[in-house]
Structure formats: structure tokens, C-alpha cells
Structure 1
Amino acid sequence: MDRADRADRPARGHDLSRRSVLATAAALAAVAAATSPAPAAGGQARGRRAPRADRFVDNRFWTSYEDWRTGTAEGTAVVAAGRPGLRIARPAGRTDYADPHTGRTAAWEYARWTSPTHRSTVPATELIASWNAHTPAGTWLQVELTGTYADGTKSPWFVMGRWTAGDDKEADIRRTSVDDQTDGKSTVWTDTLALNDAAAGPRVVAYRLRLTLYRTPGATTTPTVWRLGAMASAVPDRFTVPASEPGPAKELTVPRYSQEIHVGQYPEYDNGGEAWCSPTSSQMIIEYWGRKPKPEDLAWVDPSYADPQVCHAARQTFDYQYKGCGNWPFNAAYAATYTDLQGVVTRLATLTELEQLIAAGIPAITSQSFLKEELTGAGYGTAGHLMTVIGFTADGDVIANDPASPTNEAVRRVYKRREFENIWLRTKRYNSTGKVVSGSGGVCYLYFPVKLTAAQRQALAAVGIR
């Protein structure tokens, strides 16, 4: 892809019109005031803080023993010891799955869990699900979402992802998003359910998730899911965002990896390193938390290639439908394949929130799109790019490990605060032809361990992650 318009997510990326019209902040406030949050079924709202007025994001994740005991179980059981989760206790049914990416049709037995209805604290224009799971060979999972609109109607069950950590063609399915899903009000764009017309269409005010666990018939192995949830958001429609005041300076020591040194390597995974910004960023933070692939995981990589773990991350995040490594939930799920590591996809509202995470020792992977002249020092423009924010200078400027750098040594960059916050948090922008297109609206990945310090728990709770 041309460097002037590089994108890790070309097919689902930010030049699509799915966010072309989002609600204004005033309209959002009016709707939010008229729709006061109600406790969700099953007691799941217990202990949850009311959202701040400046946040347009609602996160709900099921993670605890009490969480998993809510909802409807069909053959699933709760793992009570150690890290709580869901597993197959007994098959609830059996089905054939024709894998469109291998041509193989196979029988699978399955069990299923459906969440209680969660009423969002914001009337949403977009929803993104994410999950953390262990999927031994011959197992996989499917995540679906159904929304309730403000007019009382419900969407069908939309598939938000079919996922496995494995990629043995004979034993595993190919992890995949599912195209061509719409009910005329909302459409799934790879990993995001978005309203077709956020200004005129009814918002999503509540939703349920359905998790189906699959395994080879007669097997005793099972997937185990530790975290499942979604981020619902209604970010105001804006070309520019309010400026924030700099907070305390801090820089985290995060490994530096360049995607550019992998150009041409393993082109079957999204044409090689040129498009590997997402898995490269993921690998940086995975290793920041002290996790690495095992030597046997890297045995397939050409030994002459530097940083084989980046090639591994690209392979493990590849979405066979999207044909890229930039599927947001797939990256979070990959991070969570490492021992006691968790991953979520969310949105942040301000650089101040990101500063609070950095202060607590939690780096973030941010998604942004910009023209070359909009980010001083980047040296390129992009329709969609992921980088790792690792700190802030004394002046409040952003310190980022930008994988779109020629060498590992050149990965550390300092970007101007005002420029960075605008290209990351805005929802609309002009592309290189002058066309109005969309921005990510503050999308980021957060990876963090199961065992957290009090400061880390507080920082995550402040942005709605528990």
C-alpha cells in the first residue's frame, strides 16, 4: 500500500462512511438525560459507578464467578477455582460448519451461554465486543450480539467474531469476521456494529451477548472464556476535540519493534510487515508485561528474520475474511493467550485519561488516521494506523512507540500533544483528496495482567474497565 495512504485496516478502515454522521454532543446529552441508566438484569449493575458527563462510552465485561452465574447456560459450567470463566460441561447440540477459508466442512459439538440484558449508560451508535479465552487444538468460539433500539425493536443476532488461537488447517477453523450482516438499521463492519444513520436512526440502548463454545465431537477438551463484554459508544461528531491540560510527565520502558523491517516477510498475512502496525504494537505491550512466545511457537519463522515474535503476532491476529491483522478484538484476544494477561477494546475520552493510565504503569495502543502534515515528525499519512503510547513529556507531548519506523531504534517518537489528541479523538477528517471521512474517536487496546496494583485498578476503573 502506498506510504501516503498506509492503512492496517484497508477494507474496514476509516474512509468508510459508517461514521459519517454521528450525533452532536448536545443531542447526546439530551438523549442521555431522557434515558437514565437502569440496573441490568441479574444484578450486574451492582457496584458500578455512574458515568461521568464527559464520557460517551459504556463498558460492560463479564469476568467474575457471579457474572458467569447470571444469564442463560446451555451446557456451559462456571470455572470456580483460580480465574473464573466458562467451559463446556456437556454438549447442548451438534452442528456442521463449512469453513469458507479452508473449504472443509466438519461436525462440532457445542455449548452456549447468553448474557443478561445490559442497558447501556449511553444511547450507542457503535458497539465493539472483545473476549479473552483459551482455545486448545480442535476448539473455537463464536461471539454474537443483539441490540435493543430506542424504538423498542431488536436487531437479529450479529456475529462479532469466530475465533481460535490455533491455525492447524486440519484441526482448527480459520479465525474470521463475518461480512454482509445488516438489519437496515445497523451494519457489522468487520468487528464493529455501527448504526447506518446515527443522526436519524434509533440508537442502541441495550444489548445481550451470546457465546458459543465448540469442540470436536466426543472430545474432552474445551475452550475456556475468562472475559467477555462490549464497549458501546456515542462519540460526538467532530473534526476537532477540546484541548486538554498536560498532566505529570512519565515514560514507561516498553520494547521497541518496527513493522518496517518485516516488509515482504510472509505476504500471506496481509502482504507482510508494511501492514503489521497492530500486531507489532500488540507484541510491544505483551512483552512490556513480561510475556513472550515460547521457542516452539517461533520454530516456523525463518531464522534469518529479526524479531520473529512480530511475525508470530501477525499470524496469530490474522482475520481470514478481512484479510488483515488489524481486527481490533482479535488483537486483544491474542494478547490474552499469554498467561494471566487480559485485553480489551475500548475508547478513551481525553488524553488526561491516557495520562492516568500511563501514571499507573499501563501503556495503550491507539488507533488514528491523519494526513502527513497533521502529525509533525511522523513522515507519513495514513487512513488507519496503530501505535503504542508509552508516556508524556514534561510539556505534555505524547511519547509513542510508532511501529511505522525504519528501525527498532527509531521507533520511539515524540508527537505534539495538540496534534496527537486531535487525530486520535476526532470522528471526522479530510483525506488526501479533500473528502470527508471518519476517524477512530479514541479507540484503543488496553492489555493488563490479572494481578493489578491498587493504582492500576483505580486507573482502569476510571475509564470503565473492571
Structure 2
Amino acid sequence: MTSSTPRRTLLAAALAAAAGTAATAVPAVASAGPGTARRGHAPAPGLVDNRFWSSYTDWRCGTADGTKAVPGDRPGLVLARPAGSADHTDPHTGRTSAWEYASWTSPVHTSTVPATEVIASWNARTPPGTWIQVELSGTYSDSTATPWYVLGRWASGDGEEDIRRTSVDDQTDGRSSVWTDTFAIDDPAGGLRLRAYRLRLTLYRKPGSGLTPTVWRIGAMASDVPDRFTVPASAPGPARELAVPRYSQNTHVGQYPEYDNGGEAWCSPTSSQMVVEYWGRRPTAEDLAWVDPAFADPQVCHAARFTYDHQYEGCGNWPFNAAYAATYPGMNAVVTRLRSLTELEDLVRAGIPVITSQSFLKEELTGAGYGTSGHLMTVVGFTPDGDVVANDPASPDNEAVRRVYRRREWENIWLRTKRYNASGKVASGTGGVCYLYFPDHLSPARRKALAALGVL
């Protein structure tokens, strides 16, 4: 019922230790009572900053070394000429291969939020024999610089000509670190923040092949969400429920254990597949030919395989899930944070389901029937009373996937950054992390909802 979470748990432990966090060290924020809940409530606006590059102008504004911006209905970046060549040893296959490469570096982005965390995401296609690397370098609030950090080495495929998509461990300068898919300040309580950053995109191909990856979108969410055990209550808006396909991860328990021990840990790719299909996309019969025909919903197995992070040893890498969704024609995907349940309601009302990440004890979420240190589900609607309608993949079968969770419980579980685990120790919450998937062609209402978040 959970995604693999060991490295995310390490992130929480590292941040807690650096800040000297103990059960009594971080005061809980009092929950707003019924008289104080109000429609449109959101925490202070300076919590989340989104910056994504996707237009032809965006690609031309960066610094190119062998890459080229391509115009059209879906502008992108391609490898036009090699800037150099290098050998790369894949740690997961042991193979050393030569690769041609070219790069693109974004303009410096000064975040509206001096950040404690940054999560990048990208949308690309990599034909067999090509791959991409995404890196971040930034400037701290004391005007010193970070090193270049690798945020992912990614290929859409995993054939013989491909590298194994992977995060990179053990990256730190003693002031910040990368934990799987998240850049994080090591000691937020000390006041250090990331003030600005650049992203570097390197495109690789087999020498002499003439192939190229194509990248349509790259960017990042920077945030500084304060320590909080609870958040104020928001008042519900109008009811709406979206017709999102329902898939259970638990019907896949034991299937393809090489991908994160099988379906019991496939909450993230199962949620991703539900939303991909909501937008009318799905794998072809040829794509699914490798799946045992006796298995129901083979597309969930497919999603698990093609979101798998070989270093993390799991399918829960947030940007890898977004990148998988964006491999489908005309699809875009980002990882971000929302500041409030109201923002999520606005997206659902516009017709955009939201995949959310949360952690909780069994008794904290009525009707779930389980506790988790990290789990993804898809919010598809709200009842007239404002309760959350979620497609929760941690269900015994597809029919049971639709759940209604109490608004106040769910809101707090999703938006908090601190919680108590089953041992009574302080652990982390994700602070509103979510995946947003959307097609190229959007209705005005959907475009307005995404633009309000700075995603478009």
C-alpha cells in the first residue's frame, strides 16, 4: 500500500536531526475551529515557487552547447551537434559505453521563495540509444554557490541500448544534499536558503547515430513550507467528481517483484496510470506484449516498470512518475506543491485530477484501514459536504478504489510537514506535494487553474 520510502525517511531524519527536532521542539499550530474556517484560505503566499521552461522563447533564452530549439505546436529541445563525447559506466548494468552529448543551461531563476527544498521535473522522449541528465546548481542566501547536483539520469525505455534510469545518492556539500529526487537544505533552522538556481540539461546519444532525445518541458518547484503538525481548516467549495479510471495496486501483489517487490508498493505508478487514462492515453498492445496475459490491468505493470528508479529501488520517484506520464502523446506533467486544499479544489473543479502524497497512522484517516510512511492516491472529487473523494490504489480490488475521506483529516495529513509515527517519534509529512498531469490542449478553465499556480 505504500511506495518505497527508505530514502525519503532518511531525508526526514536528516532534517530533523539538523534542526534538533524532538517531539517537544516543534509546537503544533492550533487547528482552526468552525468559526474560523473560510473559503479561499491558504497559508502565506510565499511558500511555493514554480518555474518551467517549455516555449520556443524559453529554449532560445537558455545557453546552448550543441542543442537546438525546435519550433512548432510543441516546441522542444534536441541535440543538433555533439559538443563532446564521454564514457559512462552504468552502475546498474556494469556496462561502459561511449556517448556523444550536448547541453542546455537555463537562465538563472531567482525564486520568489528562498527555498529549503527544490524538486525538478521534465517531459521528454528518448529513443533507444539516447538518454538525458538533469542537474541543478544554485546560489545560497549568503551568496555562496552549490555544486552541480544530479537530479536524475533518465531514459524512457530500458532496453539493451538504454541506460537504467536512476537517481544518484551521496551528493552533498555539507550545507545541502540531494535525497533521491529532492534538493534539500541540511539545516533549515539555521536560516540558510537557496535563493536562485539554474538547471542544466544534457542530451546523450550513441556516437554517430544521429539520434536525439526531445525535451518539451523542464523546470522545478522551490518551496519553504514551515514546520507544522496541523494546518488551519478550509471551508468546502462546490461539489464535483471526475470520472477517473480505478485501479488497485493490490491486485498486482507478487507480480514482477524486480520492480519494487511487486504491486504492494505500486501506489505511485498505479495512480499515474489512472490519470494518464483519464486523459484518454494508454499503452498500446505492443507496449504491453511483455506482460503475462494472465494478469489483469497489464498497464499498471507497465507503469511500474517504466517509473522504476534503479538506485532508489522503487517506483516512487516523483519526477520519474511525471516523466512517464509525459511520454504519452501530447501529455505534460509536473511535480509541485499546493498551498491549500482550496487550490486542489480549484483544479478538480476545472476537471484536473490531482495525485497527492501523504503519510499517516491508521487511526488518523477514518476508513483507510491502513497506516503508511508514504503513499500516493488520486483526488478525483469532493462531496457536497466537502469531503475528499479519492481513488486510493491501496484497496483490495478496483471496485473498492473509490473512497470518501473526511475533509479535515485528509487536509491535515496531506499539508502538514511534521507528524508522529507509530513509535511516537517526530517524522516528516510531504507538505502538499502532488503530481499534475495535463494535455497540450486545455480548456480555458483548466488553463486558468494551472496558470494560477505558475505551472503554465
The TM-score range, normalised by the shorter chain, is over 0.9
Residue 340 (structure 2) pairs with residue 350 (structure 1) = yes
Residue in structure 1 matched with residue 68 of structure 2 by the alignment: 77
Residue in structure 2 matched with residue 141 of structure 1 by the alignment: 132
Query: CA contact under 8 A between 2:117 and 2:222: conserved in structure 1?
Result: yes
Tell me, what secondary structure is at the counterpart of 1:7? Answer: coil
Residue in structure 2 matched with residue 399 of structure 1 by the alignment: 389
Written as runs of structure 1 = structure 2, the 5 A alignment for 1:59-458 is 59-168=50-159, 170-458=160-448
Tell me, in whole angstroms, the C-alpha distance in 1 between the residues paired with 2:130 and 2:335.
23
Tell me, in whole angstroms, the C-alpha distance in 1 between the residues paired with 2:44 and 2:227.
16
Gaps of 5+ in 1: 1-5, 26-50
Question: 4+ residue runs of structure 1 moved beyond 3 angstroms?
Answer: 21-25
Post-superposition CA distance 1:359-417 (Å, at most 9, x none): 10000000000000000000000000000000000000000000000000000000000
Residue in structure 2 matched with residue 42 of structure 1 by the alignment: none
Tell me, in whole angstroms, the C-alpha distance in 2 between the residues paired with 1:85 and 1:52.
35
Tell me, in whole angstroms, the C-alpha distance in 2 between the residues paired with 1:230 and 1:182.
19
Residues paired across the two proteins, number: 435
Query: CA contact under 8 A between 1:14 and 1:439: conserved in structure 2?
Result: no
Residue in structure 1 matched with residue 8 of structure 2 by the alignment: 13
Tell me, what secondary structure is at the counterpart of 1:210? Answer: strand
Tell me, in whole angstroms, the C-alpha distance in 1 between the residues paired with 2:216 and 2:195.
25
Q: CA deviation at 1:201?
A: 4.5
Tell me, what secondary structure is at the counterpart of 1:140? Answer: strand
Using the aligned pairs only, state the percent identity: 72
Q: Which amino acid aligns with 1:412?
A: R
Query: CA contact under 8 A between 2:43 and 2:339: conserved in structure 1?
Result: no
Residue in structure 2 matched with residue 40 of structure 1 by the alignment: none
Gaps of 5+ in 2: 28-41
Q: CA deviation at 1:81?
A: 2.2
Q: Which amino acid aligns with 1:287?
A: E
Q: CA deviation at 1:236?
A: 1.2
Tell me, in whole angstroms, the C-alpha distance in 1 between the residues paired with 2:339 and 2:15.
17
Tell me, in whole angstroms, the C-alpha distance in 2 between the residues paired with 1:55 and 1:450.
28
Q: Which amino acid aligns with 1:440?
A: T
Rate the CA distance shift 1:354–1:17 in 2: closer, same or farther, 3 A.
Answer: same
Tell me, in whole angstroms, the C-alpha distance in 2 between the residues paired with 1:84 and 1:313.
26
Q: Scaled by the length of structure 2, what TM-score is found?
A: 0.93
Q: CA deviation at 1:199?
A: 1.1
Post-superposition CA distance 1:228-265 (Å, at most 9, x none): 00000000110001110100100000000000000000
Q: Which amino acid aligns with 1:206?
A: A
Tell me, what secondary structure is at the counterpart of 2:398? Answer: coil
